[in-house]
């Protein structure tokens, strides 16, 4: 044992901290704190203890960080003298075992004595095993009381909920009050309820945003409630409060408790039909906001099927959405934000479908490529219909389509798909599409007929000339 700790062991304790606690402001306003302090003062005087600090606390021993309690512990740890903690009884200091290890360690080192007046128990470094056991039993009893109290509160809440009674602050548009028997009750707020109803009716027209509805309600004089001092200026509503009002089912007759909807016994401000109409509009606007956010996020990023695929159910363009899976890999999905029930589709899966059905079908040998190219280019020299650069790129694209699509980035894939496809839509997980001319004719024809098909349909390349010219093709190795 260090000399410092040995001196603490041998030092007589003559300085004290008094600790008085209530768990609520309601108790504080009564006699509980005063009674505790009066008894502690008399006790310290009889024991010859000089009071050096007071901790008068309104806090629960079971919830929160117990900031003032920790301040007391830190204060004691910073002192060189032995300090007595004087409390009225064990449950004023602790109601669980969480604080016991710290207190017991300080006791063993001679840093503190703990005086529990009601239990006639003084704990110090000289305490016997029976004293420590008695302390633990008192903490156990205090903890048992808290657990029992918690069970009673839970049963009371569940009973009242089953009876349709709301527990806590009433939503805006209602007021907390008491009936003739003094029981808690909720009544309509005659000043705010009509404005709440107007908010639902206005939003149900579909012409309002949350911001415009906030302006509308504020203009009608709707404010948040003030508590305590009635001279305080009313609080204005905010953007989030508008959403809380519009999504609260309490107004049509049910209360949301732990995720369940339970009918309540109070007057209704609106009917369910109006509430449901508002929810549909909220959901649609939420989808629109999500869509716009995704569009903004991916605004400058290239995607293979962007502005190409339409939804097979509602004909809206499908939009890209990136997901990172557990394997840390990023996947691109195309989804419809119109809430029509169309499932999303993996971009890679759609490209695989097109490769099997289209890209790989255009493969031709080098000899056939040379033969077709010579015939087509020679014909074009006499017709002067399309630039030779465009024609060569078109022929290379046909020959190497599958290879190019696999090697190309998303931007290049998008450019090629724009050249190839039209009337492209997603039905379930399957892509439906038509090929542009002359790709559609080449796909279903014999290779021997390709040069004639290209020559006869060479004018069709004029419509996609600009797109072909922009391609930076990498030829097959």
Q: pLDDT tens for residues 243-271? A: 899 999 999 999 998 888 999 999 999 99
Least confident of 14-18, 59-63, 80-84: 59-63
What residues make up the domain containing 230?
174-278
For 272-301, how does the pLDDT look when each residue is reduced to its tens digit (9 = 90+)? Answer: 999 999 988 887 776 556 655 665 666 667
Q: Give the count of domains, the chain.
A: 3
In a shared domain, residues 74 and 221: no
CA-angle at 174, arms to 173 and 175, nearest 5° = 135
For 132-172, how does the pLDDT look when each residue is reduced to its tens digit (9 = 90+)? Answer: 999 999 888 888 887 777 777 788 778 888 888 888 889 99
- In 3-state terms the chain splits into helix, strand, coil percentages (rounded to 5) of 50, 15, 30
pLDDT band at 210 (very low <50, low <70, confident <90, very high): confident
Is residue 20 assigned to a domain?
A: yes
Length of the chain: 477
In a shared domain, residues 316 and 455: yes
C-alpha dihedral over 410, 416, 422, 424, to 10 degrees?
-20
CB-based burial label for 242 (10 Å; 0-12, 13-18, 19+) = buried
In a shared domain, residues 268 and 320: no
What is the pLDDT at residue 29? 43
Percent of the chain whose pLDDT exceeds 90: 32
pLDDT band at 58 (very low <50, low <70, confident <90, very high): confident
In a shared domain, residues 367 and 245: no
Is residue 302 assigned to a domain?
A: no
Is residue 437 assigned to a domain?
A: yes
pLDDT band at 27 (very low <50, low <70, confident <90, very high): very low
Residue with tokens 């509980």: 32
Average pLDDT over residues 32-53: 90
In a shared domain, residues 335 and 266: no
173: left (phi over 0), alpha (psi -120 to 50) or beta: left
Read off the tokens for 273: 């039909």
For residue 459, say if its preceding peptide bond is cis, omega within 30 degrees of 0: no
Is residue 243 assigned to a domain?
A: yes
In a shared domain, residues 246 and 369: no
Read off the tokens for 385: 């219909």
In a shared domain, residues 316 and 450: yes
C-alpha dihedral over 210, 216, 220, 222, to 10 degrees?
20
In a shared domain, residues 314 and 463: yes
H/E stretch holding 90 reads helix 90-93
Is residue 30 assigned to a domain?
A: yes
In a shared domain, residues 80 and 11: yes
Q: Given a cut of 50, is residue 366 above it in pLDDT?
A: yes
In a shared domain, residues 129 and 214: no
Read off the tokens for 257: 């408790």
Please report the beta strands in 325-466, taking only residues with DSSP state E, as ranges in sequence order. 330-335, 345-346, 421-427, 430-435
What is the pLDDT at residue 234? 65
Is residue 259 assigned to a domain?
A: yes
In a shared domain, residues 269 and 224: yes
Q: Given a cut of 90, is residue 224 above it in pLDDT?
A: no
In a shared domain, residues 314 and 456: yes
């Amino acid at each position: 044992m260090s000399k410092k700790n040995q001196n603490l062991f041998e030092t007589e304790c003559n300085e004290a901290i008094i600790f008085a606690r209530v768990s609520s402001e309601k108790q504080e306003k009564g006699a509980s704190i005063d009674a505790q302090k009066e008894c502690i003062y008399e006790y310290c005087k009889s024991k010859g203890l000089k009071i050096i600090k007071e901790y008068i606390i309104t806090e629960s021993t079971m919830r929160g960080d117990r900031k003032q309690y920790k301040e007391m512990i830190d204060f004691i740890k910073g002192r060189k003298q032995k300090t007595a903690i004087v409390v009225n009884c064990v449950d004023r200091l602790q109601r669980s075992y969480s604080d016991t290890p710290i207190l017991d360690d300080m006791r063993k080192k001679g840093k503190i004595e703990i005086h529990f007046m009601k239990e006639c128990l003084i704990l110090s470094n000289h305490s016997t095993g029976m004293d420590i056991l008695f302390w633990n039993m008192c903490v156990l009893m205090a903890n048992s009381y808290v657990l029992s109290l918690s069970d009673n509160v839970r049963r009371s809440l569940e009973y009242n909920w089953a009876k349709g009674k709301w527990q806590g602050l009433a939503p805006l548009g209602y007021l907390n009050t008491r009936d003739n028997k003094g029981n808690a009750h909720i009544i309509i707020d005659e000043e705010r309820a009509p404005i709440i109803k107007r908010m639902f009716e206005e939003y149900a027209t579909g012409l309002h945003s949350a911001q415009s509805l906030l302006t509308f309600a504020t203009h009608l004089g709707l404010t948040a409630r003030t508590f305590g001092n009635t001279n305080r200026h009313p609080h204005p509503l905010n953007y989030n409060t508008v959403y809380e009002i519009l999504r609260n089912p309490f107004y049509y007759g049910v209360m949301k408790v732990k995720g369940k909807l339970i009918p309540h016994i109070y007057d209704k401000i609106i009917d369910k039909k109006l509430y449901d109409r508002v929810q549909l509009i909220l959901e649609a606007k939420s989808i629109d906001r999500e869509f716009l956010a995704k569009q903004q996020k991916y605004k400058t990023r290239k995607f293979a099927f962007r502005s190409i695929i339409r939804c097979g159910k509602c004909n809206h363009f499908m939009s890209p959405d990136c997901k990172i899976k557990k394997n840390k890999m990023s996947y691109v999905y195309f989804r419809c934000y119109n809430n029509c029930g169309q499932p999303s589709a993996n971009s890679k899966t759609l490209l695989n479908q097109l490769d099997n059905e289209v890209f790989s079908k255009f493969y031709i040998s080098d000899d056939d490529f040379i033969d077709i190219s010579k015939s087509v280019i020679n014909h074009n020299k006499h017709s002067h219909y399309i630039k030779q650069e465009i024609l060569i790129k078109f022929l290379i694209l046909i020959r190497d389509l599958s290879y190019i699509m696999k090697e190309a980035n998303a931007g290049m894939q998008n450019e090629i798909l724009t050249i190839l496809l039209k009337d492209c839509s997603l039905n379930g997980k399957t892509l439906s599409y038509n090929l542009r001319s002359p790709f559609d004719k080449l796909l279903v024809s014999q290779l021997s007929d390709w040069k004639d098909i290209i020559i006869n349909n060479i004018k069709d390349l004029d419509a996609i000339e600009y797109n072909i010219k922009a391609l930076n093709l990498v030829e097959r190795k």
